[in-house]
Amino acid sequence: MKNRYILKNLCRKIYLAGAGDFWYEEGVIGNDKSFLYVMICYALFFIYVSMTILEIIAAVFADLPKDEKSDSVTFAVSHTIVMIKIFSVMSNRKLVKELNYKMVGICEAYEVEKTVAENYKIMKMNVYAYVTAVYGSCACFVFEGIRKMQTGSHFITVVTYWPFYEDDSLTAVLFRFFTTWVLCVLMVTMIAIDSFVMVTLIMYKYKFITLRIYLENLRVDFDKNNYGGNEEFAANKLQTGLIEGIVMHRDLLRLSKDIDRSFGTVMALQVCQSSGSAVSLLLQIALSSDLTFVAGMKIIFFVAALFFLLALFLCNAGEITYQASLLSDSIFYCGWHACPMRRNLRRLVLMACASAQRPLVMKAFKMLQLTYGTFLTVVRSTYSVFALFYAQNE
């Protein structure tokens, strides 16, 4: 029931962020088809898209100082990817609802309170750390804008094509403050979607842990029941329990394809965003001789948020592979060897072990492997590209 509460609560936050209702029970979270909600969502995303387009035009055509030009490129790339990520999840709403239904139902009857509590604690820690990194970066951008305003320049966080750099009219100032507010609201929607993907991966990982505990408990129960005159009952109970475990394992393996179809675009684009934006941001630090402390902190927070989210995606996906690989031992040591007359039980164990030994590797688009190794490769590649550009500009 705890997993149901976690996903339902997260879907409610996504609904309040304007991305729609992703809960599989209609009308429980809210009515995302009502006229008022639809109009608010259209208005909100029209503002998001308009600001992103203005950022792209500024990055391509605007004549700006070096620091603002760098910020315009970074924001244009990052916010374009963010919008694609959000729209990709929203376009797969039906698939996501089905995924939530399956995620809640599989292994629900055998969830252990201690394991679920640990699962929930890790989710909260990851989400809170991600929120801190994102809004820490936003705060630094705001403080840098205030510092510029106090030194005789104009306040700016989001660099857009209009207002122009020389425009310090009241309308221009108000529009710059407005884009800052839009940035903060956009981050709420982005965090809700990213957290949704992150929580799904963590919950999926703990489903394998729950299944492993269930299989290990089969052996404990078998040893308790397998005494003189009760061998037949113990063997029957072991066989029934093993069949149920095999069914749960099959359903969990199928769930990986649902996760790929629902969130594959988000995870793949995060790899591109983290590596591409990080190179641009790190070069700002390396090549700017007059970078202020706050300006440096805004870049560091931004890079930290990008790589922290990428680590949450790829490392949790890698942990899924590891937890799934432990199931073969749990199946093999379930107690089948103490049932010498049950050849059908032996065949079940053989097939189940063979299935569990095939590595479950999470992928995006069925190509990009989501593993610890991929994360390390992205980090090393990002540093290599940064070092190459830095050496050429020395």
Q: Give the model confidence (pLDDT) of 119-130 as tens digits.
A: 899 999 999 999
Confidence of residue 1 (pLDDT cuts 50, 70, 90): low
Three-class DSSP category at 265: helix
pLDDT at 198: 95
Of 203, 207, 192, 33, give the one whose Cα is nearest residue 111.
Answer: 207
Q: Look-up: residue for tokens 């649902």?
A: 258
pLDDT (average), residues 77-99: 95
How does the average pLDDT of the chain come out, rounded?
90
Q: Which domain holds residue 282?
A: 2-393
pLDDT at 282: 79
pLDDT at 131: 94
Beta bridge partners of 68: none
Tell me if 19 sits within 8 A of 150, measured CB to CB. no
In percent, the amount of the chain with pLDDT more than 70 equals 98
* Predicted confidence (pLDDT) at residue 109 exceeds the cutoff of 70: yes
Sequential DSSP letters for 194-215:
HHHHHHHHHHHHHHHHHHHHHH
pLDDT at 228: 66
Cβ neighbours of residue 358 closer than 8 Å, sequence gap 6 or more: none
End-to-end CA distance of the chain: 58
Contacts 24+ apart (CB under 8 A), 84-89: 84/265, 84/269, 85/190, 85/193, 85/194, 85/265, 85/266, 85/269, 85/270, 86/19, 86/189, 86/190, 86/193, 88/265, 88/266, 88/269, 89/19, 89/193, 89/196, 89/197, 89/262, 89/263, 89/265, 89/266
Determine the Cα–Cα distance for residues 111 and 390; give it in Å rounded to an integer: 51
pLDDT at 115: 87
Two tokens, residue 175: 């529009």
pLDDT tens by residue, 223-233: 888 876 688 88
Determine the Cα–Cα distance for residues 215 and 332; give it in Å rounded to an integer: 9
The total domain count for the chain is 1
What pTM does this model have? 0.94
* Predicted confidence (pLDDT) at residue 394 exceeds the cutoff of 70: no
pLDDT tens by residue, 23-71: 999 889 999 999 999 999 999 999 999 999 999 999 999 989 888 888 8
